[in-house]
Amino acid sequence: MTSVLAPIYSAKEPTITQRAPSTAILAIDSEDRFRDYVEARAVTGGNLSPYNFTINKNQSLMNGFFTRVAVTELVFPWVIPNINRYTRIMNVTYDVGAGPVPGFITLELGFYTPAMIASEIQQQVRTLTGRADFVMTYGVQAGGVSYPVQRPIFEYGFLAVGATIAFSPFTPPPETTRKQLFDLLGFTDTNTTLSASGRGLDTYCQSTRYVDIVCTQLTLNAAAKDTMSQTVARDVLCRVYVGDAAGVQSTVLPSSATFCPPGCMPTTIYKDFALPKQIQWRPDQSIPGYLKFDVYDDAGFSLSDYTPYAQGNGANWSMTLLCSEN
């Protein structure tokens, strides 16, 4: 005999209980690379930089049957000056009537707005050439240059005839992918030819536009690996854009002395990831007590190279990771 299920006449429909998975927080602080403040005050050792350090504990950092790890929150003080050891020198060649003369421009290390950079280069060129009619501006027309609207570009020139100038990169470092002052100004090959005036391309004078935070111990189990358009691709915990520190859109014209793009002054970047990267994790594996963190710039170089600004407790950053069961 074939059985037939009787219809359900109950006023209540069957329900399925659903709720968010259980989670646990793994809090990371770069200052915890030191055992105490005695160690933090020292200026020796291999764990000085908050951009290249290890966390060492005698036990696992996290145990439990979680299957996902995600970065949900980040606080990152921005203390890397846009004029640093790699972006402070540029070659200059000028001819004021006696033939081409080579020289170079050197800016002091520190944070500079575009207007400050233009003013400092203008003063140094005037000293080199002995010509007080050399003008460099940002966002407005300079001597002999005709451009209809304000744009975030550097323009330069001599107000009177009889002088020409050219700029070029400083002696190239071994890493040809590293940005120099010449590149930070938005200059190209057209600026290497002697001319009475010239201009660069659009630039916000940033030494790097973002940084990548890497910890291979936390991304080891991920089956889906990260990739990027850089020559060297790394698995990252998160990418931090310097522009995140701006908060709101600037309403100041580029020609203003107060125009300050992100990265041109120290600040603190706070990021609350609405859609955090979910890193796969094996439920039978704990997070080890040894974690190595590295922070890289947009060219793939470690921020720890930017000494002496890569040291000190003022640069310590923190992040919150969420471990969930599914």
Per residue in 160-189, pLDDT (tens digit) is 899 999 999 998 777 788 999 999 999 999
Average pLDDT, the chain: 87
What is the reported pTM? 0.87
CA atoms of 70 and 73, how far apart (whole Å): 9
Mean pLDDT is lowest, of 53-57, 72-76, 223-227, for: 223-227
Which residues share a beta bridge with 287?
62
Task: For Cα atoms 261, 193, 201, give the angle at the middle one, nearest 5 degrees.
Answer: 20
- Dump pLDDT digits (tens) for 299-319: 999 998 887 655 655 689 999
The predicted pLDDT at position 237 comes to: 93
Cis peptide before 308 (omega within 30 of 0): yes
Given this model, what pLDDT does residue 105 score? 96
**pLDDT above 70 coverage of the chain, percent:** 87
- Residues 113-120, mean pLDDT to the nearest whole number: 97
- Predicted pLDDT at 132: 95
Q: Which domains does the chain have, with CATH numbers?
A: 23-80+208-324 (2.60.120), 89-199 (no CATH)
> Over 80: is that where the pLDDT of 83 sits?
yes
27 strand-pairing partners: 320
pLDDT (0 to 100) of residue 141: 72
Query: Which segment of 173-182, 263-272, 287-296 scores lowest on mean pLDDT?
Result: 173-182
Mean pLDDT of 68-81: 94
Q: How far apart are the first and last CA of the chain?
A: 45
Angle at 185 between CA 227 and CA 147, to 5 degrees: 115
pLDDT band at 226 (very low <50, low <70, confident <90, very high): confident
Helix (H, G, I), strand (E, B), or coil: what is residue 71?
strand
Work out the burial of residue 145: count CB atoms within 10 Å of its CB; fewer than 13 is exposed, 13-18 middle, 19 or more buried.
middle
Instruction: Compare 116 and 274 and report the one with higher pLDDT.
Output: 116
- Sign of the torsion angle spanned by Cα atoms 230, 77, 113, 126: negative
Tokens 């040809």 sit on residue: 176
Banded pLDDT at 239 (limits 50, 70, 90): very high
pLDDT at 14: 62
Nearest CA among 50, 51, 1, 10 for reference residue 294: 51
Lowest mean pLDDT among 54-58, 87-91, 158-162, 251-255: 251-255
Residue 75, pLDDT above cutoff 90:
yes
| Residues 73 and 81 sit within 8 Å (Cβ to Cβ) | no
Handedness of CA 313, 302, 245, 320 (dihedral sign): negative
pLDDT at 312: 56
What pLDDT does residue 198 have?
Answer: 94
In this predicted model, which residue has the larger pLDDT, 289 or 9?
A: 289
Structure tokens, 314: 């003022």
Helix (H) and strand (E) counts for the chain? Answer: 4, 15
pLDDT value of position 313? 58
Burial class (CB in 10 A: 0-12, 13-18, 19+), 303: buried
